[in-house]
Amino acid sequence: MTEHQHLLFVRHGETVGNLDLIAHGQTESPLNARGIRQATLTAEMLKTRDRDYQLVYASPLSRAHHTGKIIAENLHLPLHTHPELIEGHLGILEEVTYQELEDFGYGKKSIKDDDFDEHGGESPNTLAVRITGAIADIRKKHPVENIIIVSHGVAISHLIARLLGTSPAFGQQYQMHNAAFTEVKFGRNSKPELTALNYHEHLPSELILKQKRSKKNVTE
């Protein structure tokens, strides 16, 4: 076994919902033209990194799977799907606007209470357990490979908070731009280590979504 394993978490490219400030949760929202360009630029950047990756995993939702496919094809890597890499479920808040999320108090309540679920969706703890379990399953199947994992903004932020043992479970401090990546290094006898967070320097400014929005409310 190699001394370290690196998992590179990529948030999917921009979607129609992102541009319209709609929270889709587990509802489909495909990549728009900008999102496809973002994913392509991320794939091209990853080809230039010193680190090699052996495979790609993606959420089954089309926005993440399409991003994963673009990356996998550019890097000539196999693409796998894992159902538990899907975004958090928003319950009655699926497909509402970000403003409606804020009016409901979704972000504020989720940050305050790891078990908040009055929206009828997944609580921060429930999502954190699910997404962490997915990563454990993937690592069990591929214990020595470096892996690119394409998922969703809130799912990844919950995951990183759980892996690093920080609080709250909502992990708003780990949220990412579209097509950005965060990397975690795993050692055989050490705690996971964050080696990159929300890296998006490869994306030109015109491809960074500039609408003003509250970090605590972004869920897609």
| Whole-number Å distance between alpha carbons of 127 and 160 | 12
DSSP E strand stretches across 36-145: 55-58, 79-81, 96-97
Alpha helices of 20-123 — where are they, by DSSP H? 33-47, 62-75, 98-104, 106-112
Q: Tell me the catalytic residues.
A: 12, 87
Looking up tokens 């900008």 gives 34
Beta bridge partners of 15: 31
HSE at residue 36, side-chain half, CA atoms within 13 A, is: 4
DSSP code, position 79:
E
Token pair of 195 as six digits: 């080696």
3-state secondary structure of 154: helix
DSSP code, position 15:
B
Q: Residue 91, by phi and psi: left (phi above 0), alpha (psi -120 to 50) or beta?
A: left
DSSP code, position 166:
-
